[in-house]
Amino acid sequence: MNGAARKRRLRGWWWKLPLLFAVFSVLQVLALRFVDPPFSAFMAARWVDAALAGHPGFRIAHDWRDLRAMSPNLPLALVAAEDQNFARHHGFDFDAIEKAQAHNEKMRARAEKRGTPVKRIRGASTISQQTAKNLFLWQGVGPTRWLRKGLEVWYTALIEALWPKRRILEMYANFAEFGDGIYGAQAASRSFFGKDASRLSASEAARLAAVLPSPKRYSAARPGPYVQRRAAAIQRQMAGIGGTGYLRALD
């Protein structure tokens, strides 16, 4: 085969690659509706980062627990803290996005006026978006960050279409990072409170939710003033959205 023919053949494959990816990702997400994955993309990336940093002995703490085997306090706390419209939206909370944009513009204007760094930037990612990112994707910087965001939209739409809400929440509770290398409800409960995730109290669950999304900065085991205030607010929000009866509405 000469060079020109080879180039024509390669060009003939380019249009098929997006189709192949679409089929693969649909099958991937559909399979994970029924199969509990042993690890996430973020967990794999964290282990690789540790190895490259010269810490080959670094260990990931993770132990899968079905949602029904967890204390209902934890998934309730996650919804109260991260995504109170979780039961109503279809993956994207556009009202929250608008509010976050308005808040962030105000914070940037204040920082520019004072000549100080921007603080208290607010995100609007739903639990569905965070699950898609944690499970399938990467953090990303520069151009790869925008690629990741595009794929995050695609995977979020897929899991909302192919998984029930309880499965999305189960995945999030099992793969959220609650401390450096500590992923999921069971590992966090054991690491910080020395108990099974089925025995988490409302206050302990609220403290775990309060460290998100900065688990390396804040500690559920030794909560400072910020975590204590946020945990107290989360407990109030847990009651406000209906308490543990809220979870039954996801069935």
Beta-sheet strand order (sheet of 182-183): 61-62, 182-183, 177-179
pLDDT digits (tens, 9 = 90+) for 93-108: 878 777 767 666 766 6
| Per-residue model confidence (pLDDT) at position 58 | 86
CATH-assigned architecture of domain 37-85+164-248: Orthogonal Bundle (1.10)
Residue 142: what are its φ and ψ, rounded to 5°? 60, -140
Question: Is residue 2's pLDDT more than 80?
Answer: no
pLDDT digits (tens, 9 = 90+) for 140-177: 777 788 888 899 999 999 999 999 999 999 999 999 99
